[in-house]
Chain A
Amino acid sequence: MFPYEKYLRFSKFPHIWCTGCGCGIILKSILRAIERCKLSKNDIALVSGIGCSSRTPGYVDFNTLHTTHGRAIAFATGLKLAKPALKVLVISGDGDATAIGGNHFIHAARRNLDITVIIYNNHIYGMTGGQASPTTPIGKKGSTAPYGSIEPSFDISGLAIAAGASFVARATCYHIVQLDKFLEKGFMKKGFSLIEVLAPCPTYYSRPNRLGTSVDMLHWYKENSIPVEKARTLSENEKKDKIIIGILEDRERPEFCEEYKKMVERIRKA
């Protein structure tokens, strides 16, 4: 049994998450990856915004910062630049990171700041009661999309790649072995790393859309996911409505803290 108690603030339990929520699955994966990376609890800062996943900092024994809606990455930027030795992790949701916090998300990726952002994508605003988010698929219902969403949804990983992130991976709450590895790679990667995880929200996404239980959602992820290597051999039509999982980007790009340090050294020599 993995020693989760080493990292959890058990005194803060019970947590606020619903039965069948993906938040716990992803949190356990994060803790396993932290253990394998041999990161010290004192050196980890976990930053979040507002939403279900953003309540995670209260439950884990790190330097924890629960901020305002959408702004976690901006807070994390100050923390990381001020103390580059900190391993700064950001937990966010699809609404938090790509609607209200979209600007901070793309700019941190563009700067290629050495932080790891984990976005729990459940296609809905869970905390506030099931309103449509920027990743609610066309036709799917939310409390503010009672006739089905008519807006195209964001490709969160694609957004990070286009903006300049060093490392981008996508997994689901079913593909937990892969998720462990992606998180481990993301934590150790120099530069901006994004791990997007599709997560079930049985209360506010599955129920109004008649998608069954959380277990049904996990089965759905299993049946509809395609590894990125295989996806490269398929036509656009064959990939339609499929979840492409795997390491979508892994490249070397100049990292912001290091570039700043180099600039300081350069002007001090001059």
Chain B
Amino acid sequence: MAKQNVNVKLMTGNEACAEAAIVAGMRFFGGYPITPSSEIAEVLARRLPEVGGIFVQMEDELASMATIIGASLAGIKSMTATSGPGFSLMQENIGYASMTEVPCVIINVQRGGPSTGLPTLPAQADVMQARWGTHGDHSIIVVAPSTVRETYDWTIKAFNLTEQYRIPVVVLLDEVIAHVNEKMVIPEPETITIIDRKRSTESPDTYQPYKQNDLDIPLFADFGTGYRYNVTGLSHDETGFPTNDPQKINALYSRLSRKLERYQDQIIEYKTEYLEDAQICIVAFGSSARSAYRAVRLARQQGIKVGIFQLFVIWPFPYKILGRLASQIKAFIVPEMNLGQIAHEVSCAIKSDVIKVNRVDGSLITPNEILERIKNVSV
């Protein structure tokens, strides 16, 4: 009898996301139902009580975002999941999490918009909302997997990133990745890295929640463990209390943005294929990357020197890396299910125009559509 590999499963992206979050140590989910993300909540409603975690269905997305921050302050890894309209509502408290540096993960299964848009169809239209949806200069990390396995891996990494840097992390999925069933080899637990936030070991008498240190990342203290400190969304000083002192305000905002700039090389991840001799480069992420890989392989069979640059981390955006590629590449093609949100950033990085392949009709960009553009490039 053939040995059955129990670690191989058929899973959707939403299921992989939920299971991976539990592996990452997530034990608190607060959310509100919305297509096409609801299965994440449904899986966690069943699974979290089994593993001693908390699942709570909140009254709306404003509350969902608030409640996961509250739980994270108590020291529990927390997340929520939503889609475009709900993501819009969460922006208020995403800003609060960024300002107060409370770790949390937000899954946004994108749909077409604005407004109710295309609830059951894929889109990649929240690239800019994920970065700039909340008001003010702020730090945020945004990642975008393209397969079920990548969704599993990047959900775990999202928790590691938010725990390590105390910056909220958004995982951008889309309806295709969320609902497609793929064969998934579940990684062995010992191969998975799990990072927990660094906690203060200092005496509560001298603890300062936002004390400047060499890392620019303050040490955390769980609520209810004897560290009686103050958390506020107002501009605050190192002690955590509101301040109107220009120097202290400047120190706070500078450190919050420096955190992202300083660690961007460690945060940014991408994957390349066929780029060594390429004259054309496809820059893609999420579901569009799936079609892009196919298009590149088809083009290579026809002898066209084309390669692919797949973004795993969208924000911080790899401006420098793409900028360096520009000397070698004659043309950049950017397929995405929006009207050019990532194309704009690529254009900034290479300081030149890019060829855009866009769809906003709720359909995937096909490999042939990308292949046609590749063939039309004269290099």
Q: Which residues of A contact B (CB under 8 A)?
A: 12, 41-43, 45, 47, 57-58, 61-68, 70-71, 74-83, 85-86, 103-104, 107, 260, 263-264, 267-268
Secondary structure dominating the interface of A: helix
Asked whether A61 lies within 8 Å of B228 as measured between CB atoms, the reply is: yes
Residue B62 CB within 8 A of the other chain: yes
Asked whether A86 lies within 8 Å of B66 as measured between CB atoms, the reply is: no
From 228 to 262 in chain B, residues with beta carbon under 8 angstroms from any chain A beta carbon are 228-234, 241-242
The 4 closest A-B pairs by CB, nearest first: A78-B70, A74-B66, A78-B67, A82-B74
Residue B142 CB within 8 A of the other chain: no
Neighbour of B232 across the interface among A43, A66, A83, A107, CB < 8 A = A66
Proximity string of chain B (30-44) to chain A, C-beta cutoff 8 Å, 1 when within and 0 when not: 100000000000000
Q: List 23 A-B contacts (CB under 8 A).
A: A41-B228, A42-B226, A43-B224, A58-B242, A63-B224, A66-B231, A66-B233, A67-B96, A68-B96, A74-B62, A75-B66, A76-B70, A77-B58, A78-B67, A78-B74, A79-B70, A82-B28, A83-B75, A83-B222, A86-B224, A104-B59, A263-B49, A264-B49
Task: List 10 additional contacts besides A77-B70, A103-B62; criterion CB under 8 Å.
Answer: A58-B230, A58-B241, A62-B228, A63-B227, A71-B63, A75-B69, A78-B56, A78-B67, A81-B28, A82-B76
A75 to B28, CA, bound (A): 13
Asked whether B70 lies within 8 Å of A64 as measured between CB atoms, the reply is: no
Asked whether A104 lies within 8 Å of B63 as measured between CB atoms, the reply is: yes
Proximity string of chain B (44-72) to chain A, C-beta cutoff 8 Å, 1 when within and 0 when not: 00000110101010111011101111111
Kindly provide the distance from the CB of A79 to the nearest chain B CB, expressed in whole angstroms. 4
- Which single residue of chain B is at the shortest CB-CB distance from A110? B59
Residues of chain B contacted by A76 (CB below 8 angstroms): 70
A85 to B75, CA, bound (A): 14
Asked whether B49 lies within 8 Å of A267 as measured between CB atoms, the reply is: yes
Asked whether A78 lies within 8 Å of B224 as measured between CB atoms, the reply is: no
From 71 to 129 in chain B, residues with beta carbon under 8 angstroms from any chain A beta carbon are 71-76, 78, 92-93, 96
A-B pair number, CB within 8 angstroms: 133
Residues of chain B contacted by A264 (CB below 8 angstroms): 49, 52
Residue B274 CB within 8 A of the other chain: no
Asked whether A81 lies within 8 Å of B54 as measured between CB atoms, the reply is: yes
Asked whether A103 lies within 8 Å of B60 as measured between CB atoms, the reply is: yes
Asked whether B93 lies within 8 Å of A71 as measured between CB atoms, the reply is: yes
Secondary structure dominating the interface of B: mixed
Residues of chain B contacted by A79 (CB below 8 angstroms): 70-71, 73-74, 223
A41 to B227, CA, bound (A): 10
- Which single residue of chain A is at the shortest CB-CB distance from B68? A78
Asked whether A12 lies within 8 Å of B241 as measured between CB atoms, the reply is: yes
Kindly provide the distance from the CB of B331 to the nearest chain A CB, expressed in whole angstroms. 46
- Which single residue of chain B is at the shortest CB-CB distance from A72? B66
Neighbour of B70 across the interface among A66, A75, A85, A103, CB < 8 A = A75
- Which single residue of chain B is at the shortest CB-CB distance from A61? B228
A254 to B226, CA, bound (A): 30
- Which single residue of chain B is at the shortest CB-CB distance from A57? B230
A12, A43, A47, A68 pick with most chain B CB within 10 angstroms: A68
Asked whether A77 lies within 8 Å of B63 as measured between CB atoms, the reply is: yes
Neighbour of A64 across the interface among B54, B56, B230, B233, CB < 8 A = B230
Asked whether B66 lies within 8 Å of A81 as measured between CB atoms, the reply is: no
Residues of chain B contacted by A267 (CB below 8 angstroms): 49-50
Quick one: given A58-B242, A103-B59, are A68 and B70 in contact (CB under 8 Å)? no
Residues of chain B contacted by A63 (CB below 8 angstroms): 223-224, 227-229
Asked whether A107 lies within 8 Å of B75 as measured between CB atoms, the reply is: no
- Which single residue of chain B is at the shortest CB-CB distance from A43? B224
Neighbour of A85 across the interface among B50, B59, B224, CB < 8 A = B224
Residues of chain B contacted by A65 (CB below 8 angstroms): 70, 73, 223, 230-232
Residues of chain B contacted by A68 (CB below 8 angstroms): 66, 92-93, 96, 233
Residues of chain A contacted by B93 (CB below 8 angstroms): 68, 71
Kindly provide the distance from the CB of A256 to the nearest chain B CB, expressed in whole angstroms. 9
Kindly provide the distance from the CB of B77 to the nearest chain A CB, expressed in whole angstroms. 10
Residues of chain A contacted by B56 (CB below 8 angstroms): 77-78, 81
Asked whether A77 lies within 8 Å of B54 as measured between CB atoms, the reply is: no
Kindly provide the distance from the CB of B317 to the nearest chain A CB, expressed in whole angstroms. 28
Residues of chain A contacted by B225 (CB below 8 angstroms): 42
A65 to B99, CA, bound (A): 13
Neighbour of A42 across the interface among B58, B70, B228, B241, CB < 8 A = B228
A78 to B67, CA, bound (A): 4
A13 to B145, CA, bound (A): 50
A179 to B256, CA, bound (A): 43
B30, B222, B241 pick with most chain A CB within 10 angstroms: B241
- Which single residue of chain B is at the shortest CB-CB distance from A78? B70
Residues of chain B contacted by A12 (CB below 8 angstroms): 241
A268 to B50, CA, bound (A): 7
A12 to B243, CA, bound (A): 11
Asked whether B71 lies within 8 Å of A78 as measured between CB atoms, the reply is: yes
Asked whether B67 lies within 8 Å of A75 as measured between CB atoms, the reply is: yes
Residues of chain B contacted by A42 (CB below 8 angstroms): 224-226, 228
B75, B223, B229, B242 pick with most chain A CB within 10 angstroms: B223
Kindly provide the distance from the CB of A15 to the nearest chain B CB, expressed in whole angstroms. 12
